Amino acid sequence: MKNLKTIVLSNQEISPGYFRMKILAPGYNNTAKPGQFVMFRVQRSLPPLLRRPFGIFRAGFMPADCDSMQPKEFIELIYKVVGSGTEIMQRLHQGDPVELLGPLGEGFDLGVAEEEKILVGGGIGLVPLYMLAERMVETSRVRLLMGGRTRDDIIMVTEFERLGVETYVSTEDGSLGEGGMITQVLKRKLDKFPKSTVFACGPMPMIDAVQKICFERGTPLQVSLEALMACGVGACLGCVVKGAGHTEVEPRYLCTCTSGPVFNAENLDWNKIEVTVVGSGGCK
C-alpha cells in the first residue's frame, strides 16, 4: 500500500463511453488481489479535488525491452465516463503523470478450488470479476452472467472467453444476448448447479436482486460494493455500509474501503442497505 507517482501507458475507448487505461505500476503484480481497488488521482491540479476509486481490472508485466533492463509492471483500469473526473481521465495520454494509492481494500475470497463458481456482473461491475476469473479458472469451473441495460454495457466478452470462462449475456432491451434481467439467468443456473458460490458486482438494484435469490437458496455470495469515498483508507468514514445486526443503539458500520469493497453477503444488513451512489453523475 503506497502512493505511487507514475504515468499512463495507454488509454483507449473500448465500447461507447467505456475506456481502458494501462498505468505503469511497480509492485502491483504481486500484491494486487482480485476485488481490490486504487484511489486514482486524475491530475495534480484541481479539479477534481478528491481522488476517484477504481477497481483493478488486471495487473501484469510488460516484457523487458531494449531501453529498460527489467520487465515493467502495470495495472489496467476500465472506466465509464460519468462525470467531471472521468471526463478528464478520457483525455489523458501516454506519459501523462497520475497517482495511484493502493492496492486498497479487501478483495474476493477465491473459495474452495474445484467447486462451481458463478460470477454475476454488469457494466463496470465486470471489472473486478476479470481478475477474479483469471485466478479461479486455474482450479474451478467459472460461469459468468453478464447483464446490462443495452449492448454497450456488455464489455470484455472476448477477454473473459479467452480465459475459458463460459459467458451468458442478457440485456434488458434485448439488444445483445437474451432479453430481460440477469437474475432470470442466475435462477436457471442455480437450479442446474445448486452447489455454486456466487460472486457479484454491478449496480445496486442488481446486487440486491442477486442477494435475494442467493439468500433464499442458501447460496454463498460475495458482493463488491460501490460507495462515495474521500480517503479510501478508513480515515474519513464517508463510505460506510450497515453491517449485519446494525441498530441505531448498537451501530455496526463497516467502511467499504477497508472492510470491503468485497463483502460476504451475510456480513451486511440487507434490510437497510442504501444505494449511496446517487443518480448519474454523483456530486459536482
Binding site for ligand FAD (CB under 6 A): 37, 48, 50, 52-55, 77-80, 82-86, 124, 127, 226-229, 261, 277, 281-284
- Adjacent-strand bridge partners of 169: 146
Q: Contact between 230 and ligand FES (CB under 6 A)?
A: yes
**Minimum distance from residue 192 beta carbon to ligand FES (Å):** 38
Residue 112 binds which of ligand FES, other proteins, ligand FAD, none (CB < 5-8 A, kind-dependent):
none
Q: Which is nearer to ligand FES, 180 or 238 (CB)?
A: 238
Residue 76: which residues within 8 A CB-CB, separation 6 or more? 20, 21, 22, 23, 56, 57, 58, 59, 60
The radius of gyration of the chain from alpha carbons, rounded to an integer in Å, stands at: 18
Tell me which residue has its CB nearest to ligand FES.
257
The grid coordinates of residue 200 equal 457479484
State the number of binding residues for a second copy (CB under 8 A).
Answer: 4
Which partner from the list a second copy, other proteins, ligand FAD, none does 238 bind, CB cut-off 5 to 8 Å by kind? other proteins
The span of 43-51, 217-225, 228-236, 252-260 binding a second copy (CB under 8 A) equals: 43-51
Q: Which residue stretch of 15-23, 68-76, 207-215, 231-239 sits at the interface with ligand FES (rule: CB under 6 A)?
A: 231-239
Smallest gap from residue 6 Cβ to other proteins (A)? 14
| Alpha-carbon span 117 to 111, nearest angstrom | 9
CB of 43 to ligand FAD, least distance (A): 12
Alpha helices in 145-203 (DSSP H): 157-162, 182-192
The answer to whether the beta carbons of residues 225 and 106 sit under 8 Å apart is no
Q: Which residues in this chain contact other proteins in the complex, by CB under 8 A? A: 1-3, 41, 46-51, 99, 101, 227-241, 248, 251, 253, 274, 276-284
Among 118, 126, 169, 239, binds ligand FES (CB under 6 A): 239
**Of 107, 95, 57, whose CA–CA distance to 77 is shortest?**
57
Report which secondary-structure segment, H or E, holds 207: helix 204-217
Longest dimension (CA), the chain: 63
* Contacts of residue 160, Cβ cutoff 8 Å, sequence gap at least 6: 126, 130, 133, 144, 146, 167
Residue nearer to ligand FAD on the CB measure, 73 or 153: 153
54 binds, among other proteins, ligand FES, ligand FAD, none (CB under 5 to 8 A by kind): ligand FAD
- Applying the rule CB under 8 A, the residues between 71 and 90 that interact with a second copy are 88
- State the amino acid at position 152 in one-letter form: D
